[in-house]
Structure 1
């Protein structure tokens, strides 16, 4: 089993929780930008190169915009390249800000950049693996320490070089490691909760097995009482079996056999869709000729089941128009969901945003195509 520290992010384990916490991250990042602007304006008299100071603010603004855009639920999962890019832009901004002061600055007014870098590292903690958060945090703190050391050598700073290095490294190191520790705690808690929930679900399934079996048996008995028993009663009263009776018996037998074969062959996805939207007579609500739905992981099944139930219980999509098609691809399988929208675009996007966020995490390559009133959602997953 792969380690949580090595491979799993909080966003993957709890997409909806990450989505709920995203506004706080946006406030922190935007606040850091405002803080940078205020500090720069207050020390305008000490700035020797205004161009470098403005360039530093520009890089901070770019990193804030990147955070807001790339962590959006309508975007693919946040990547390691974006993580390094955003933190790298802030390091460059700190270097430019320090260079803009030249020899005219003081320690307490120059070295505000590490605070901004540290806040961004904490804001990005839910989106990347713990090992990567720790590694990039340490690397970023080393760079900020070096920049602080260089600045102290050209500015009038009456402090030992080691103190300057620690002063600049500490905010980045503590905030990045703190964010990683918090993310690890959330991931571990979620894993323990998931394990307990899975055990409880298995126990509940065992308890319900007998009742489900009795329910299925009762369904069969109902069919027999409705069709077969009247035929046998009629035959017992007449004492003669006619060709018409044989035809009726063959028809009932074929009907019951077809029903049982159909239910046995029905996949979990077909059962969920049929229960949620109602089965179609033509059997084309779900098209999965290669039985690829069975290859989904438990997380993927849970996410897709929740999305189907949400769409079925809402009014944004017209239930009779919803179709699902699963096709084989060179790398796995692709699911295409189509339907007609019965509400305005802002309404269905707002309603489906949490479910789309979850689907983007557990599946890959999710794309949305909307041309009123038709909505198409396509995503892929790996198969054995």
Structure 2
């Protein structure tokens, strides 16, 4: 089991580091998306005379709507985490929106500071803070700022004031630069503090594991001694008191030997996933629960600690919140990835079951490469892949 602490990474995102915090930020994301759509509509409605090229205005609106659609889709809890290719498409659409909106008002917009493009671009950069790395946000802030600066210089000859073109370049890029770099700085600060907290938590977990390892070994040995006291010692005492050994005694001795051997061997041969399920089910003796793990290669036993922790947490929450009657877990490794298919039968309605597992599915979405939740044959099925 790997207890090495995580390392600081400049490619980290809040959604990977703390999926539940990213989930809580989705309301802010939706609010920012609504604001990004509202600003150009309001500005255009208030100053329609500044629209010199309606076709380009339509292009800018289309690019903005598609970008917002990508933002909402990739931040949805039932979708995988935001990948780099779709993030680049999103930023390209923002750039197209900036250029098209500027062309639509070329020659008619006398106050460059009132352009809605840079403000909307800045709002969108703030909206992606939980989902993209700080370095990527800063890089695209530079790109968008330079785009706005060029647009400002192109607009300069048509502006109402007689100022150097460089002044208009600064004014035109100020909004996106301030909002974008603020978003990047916030993402960097939040991600680093979360990573440092995780490093300290891993160090504490590693120390606790080393301290408890000997105690755990003693506990297992005591269980074996208790088994011998229950089964073997009474038999030997009867033999000593009787003084003779009958054929029935020999049969009982063979039965005890086979039973103890089977018990010890079965414990050794069980996969980590099955042992984990057995341990958690044993804590609910009053419930009739069937829990089975299909893991012939013991992939769970070879998984790193954070992946095993997710599996244990999912089992615990299935028993405690769903009152699960059956749990089936299948672990496989297609193309080197760890794939988990978790099937739960519960007396609760599927809608309630999904709601009860929402925080867990949010966590799984953040720490895995692909995840989905669906229903099959009256069961709630959670599938996810590791391997990023």
* Normalised TM-score (structure 1): 0.88
CA distance in 2, matches of 1:61, 1:158: 35
SS at match of 2:25: helix
1:17 counterpart = 2:27: no
Structure 2 residue aligned with 1:367: 372
Structure 1 residue aligned with 2:197: 193
CA distance in 2, matches of 1:181, 1:363: 26
| Unaligned runs of at least 5 residues, structure 1 | none
**TM-align CA RMSD:** 2.9
Aligned equivalent of 1:65, options 45, 48, 69: 69
Aligned equivalent of 1:306, options 310, 313, 317: 313
1:5–1:131 CA contact under 8 A, matched in 2: no
1:297 counterpart = 2:304: yes
Change beyond 3 A, Cα 1:174–1:46: closer
Aligned equivalent of 1:258, options 251, 256, 262: 262
Change beyond 3 A, Cα 1:298–1:226: closer
Aligned equivalent of 1:272, options 276, 287, 290: 276
CA distance in 2, matches of 1:199, 1:251: 47
Structure 2 residue aligned with 1:228: 232
Higher deviation after alignment, 130-139 or 270-279: 270-279
| Unaligned runs of at least 5 residues, structure 2 | none
CA distance in 2, matches of 1:96, 1:135: 21
Change beyond 3 A, Cα 1:196–1:2: closer
Structure 2 residue aligned with 1:81: 85
SS at match of 1:370: strand
Tell me the CA shift for residue 72 of structure 1: 1.0
CA distance in 2, matches of 1:255, 1:43: 87
CA distance in 1, matches of 2:114, 2:88: 24
1:16–1:358 CA contact under 8 A, matched in 2: yes
SS at match of 1:106: coil
* Normalised TM-score (structure 2): 0.88
1:285 counterpart = 2:289: no
SS at match of 1:342: coil
Structure 2 residue aligned with 1:202: 206
CA distance in 2, matches of 1:209, 1:296: 18
1:335 counterpart = 2:343: no
Change beyond 3 A, Cα 1:133–1:2: farther
Aligned equivalent of 1:149, options 139, 143, 153: 153
1:333–1:380 CA contact under 8 A, matched in 2: yes
SS at match of 1:249: helix
CA distance in 1, matches of 2:275, 2:230: 24
Structure 2 residue aligned with 1:378: 383
Higher deviation after alignment, 373-382 or 224-233: 373-382
Tell me the CA shift for residue 261 of structure 1: 2.6
CA distance in 2, matches of 1:266, 1:232: 30
Tell me the CA shift for residue 71 of structure 1: 0.7
2:134–2:188 CA contact under 8 A, matched in 1: yes
CA distance in 2, matches of 1:294, 1:149: 62
SS at match of 1:125: coil
Q: Deviations over 1:141-189 (max 9, x none)?
A: 1112212222223444433211111122222223222222222222221
Higher relative contact order (CA 8 A, sep 6+): 2
SS at match of 1:7: coil
Aligned equivalent of 1:349, options 345, 354, 357: 354
CA distance in 1, matches of 2:256, 2:200: 46
CA distance in 2, matches of 1:343, 1:38: 47
Change beyond 3 A, Cα 1:224–1:24: same
Change beyond 3 A, Cα 1:256–1:44: same
CA distance in 2, matches of 1:330, 1:199: 31
2:291–2:327 CA contact under 8 A, matched in 1: no
Structure 2 residue aligned with 1:107: 111
